[in-house]
A and B are shown apart, each in its own frame.
Chain A
Amino acid sequence: MRYLVQRFLQFSLVFFIVTFGVMVLMRLGLNAPGDPARTMLGGTVSQERIDEMTLRYHLDTNLIVQYWYWLKSILWNQDFGYSVQQNISVARYMRPNILVTFFLGVYSLIWGLIIAVPVAVYQAYKRDSRFDKAGNFFSFFFISVPALVFAPFIIYIFVTKLNWFPRIGEKIYPWDDLVGHFQNFFLPVVVLSLPTAAVFARLLRSDMIATLQSDFITLANAKGVSPQRTLWAHALRNSLFSVLTSVGVQIGGLIGGALVVEQYFNMKGMGFLLITTILSKDLFVVQSLSAILVASVVFANLGIDLMYTVIDPRIRHARALI
């Protein structure tokens, strides 16, 4: 419990530092009074509108006070601010784009795990077999392939040559058209999930091999537990740590990969929105988007910490992991 509280405090600190850092970064160079409001309004606007905006969002106060107001309106009123350039509230502006990236990320993560776990377990079980070697080769290959390179090859093979999938343009939500949704998301998810699976498989394989050599596995075998059960219940559970830890790291990488993949498949996700808004200096949108990204990374890490304690009860009592 104490461990979790400690982690929670640590992660909240990280959240505040990063969101504040993004705010400062975006405001650098906007020192004159009225500057932030003028940038956000974009183009030439009257002095009254600038003053109104400045007053409404406390843009004339110092950064820490502004940050406080901004955070307060998000946490208390779920108000992410207003995108004047688009004349729409930031929350509504972001929603469709966030959903696209959310689907991409979640599907890829899930598929990554679904592919990685059985492959890695079997690799460790049949160590140095032909399957193991092939698995090692492919995981090394896919770890090295950046999404930037993987996507055009996939598109060329499956869209241009084989014509199995459509070139994606529009968003289809699963509640509108389930088949179309999966058809649209299939290739992007392949591009994102294979490298993820490769990372997981590699970590899990080496951990499994270490676990399979430990005494309690020998004991399990000696007392007649079936090999399958030893493998899947005893060994797997004790080998999951590195994979879980890397899930936290992978989320960041997935979002980065998603930025590129979105471009290839013409999906308007968070990446598209981020680039647009950073360019047009829509400060509130950039701040909110990065806050959401940081929050998701932080929450995922907290969730992983929680899962540690479920998998290994000893951690509940330990103070901290290195």
Chain B
Amino acid sequence: MMSILLKVENVQTHIGQYHILQGVSFEAKEGQVSVLLGRNGAGKTTTLKTIMGLTPATSGTIHFQDKEITKQATHHIASSGIGYVPEDQGIFGALTVEENLKVAMRKEDDAALARQEYVLELFPDLKKYWKKDGGHLSGGQKQMLSMARAFINDSKLLLIDEPSKGLAPVVIEKVMEAIVEMKKQTTIILVEQNFIMASRIGDTYTLIDDGETVRSGQMSELVQNEELKRQYLGIG
């Protein structure tokens, strides 16, 4: 039985005057890829930002490794073992690939350097463009750098927001392979619009609509549920 790593319960988030999340609940189990699905503007990205404390929850609770992190500062949440890959990748454009990874590395010990070697094997392009400014990388390379940066601190959980967005199919395939590889070492919560990709790598799904969780379950069930896909994802 896999243990629950992250538990989000009835989370509500306001951004300014807007009530974005109106009751999001789901669990992420250790070693799995949990996919958040829903239409544009449903609240998937805000859910990840709320977990990270970037748009703090106004009510509800978030537990990570059985500790409540709902009101914690973002840097505490990240330090507790959650890596974040934002939708825009968040690359420091004027820093080189090496520097982007160095900023992220909280401890420069042997374990961290081993993980750096691992991500460079996973993404050989990063090694190739080691001294190149992050701002000059292609969209796919930026995505790889952002994922490598989130992974480098022995993160127990990775939050990855729309990794396929704006990428060519061949690059999407590479990113997918990398996520499958990373899954062997960590737990992943993935926001993804590309249902084909999501269904191939996801173990579980959570459907979010108008800021609320409408359904959660095994990905294999959703793949076969044409009605649910049509109603909430506009496909099928």
- The answer to whether A binds B is no
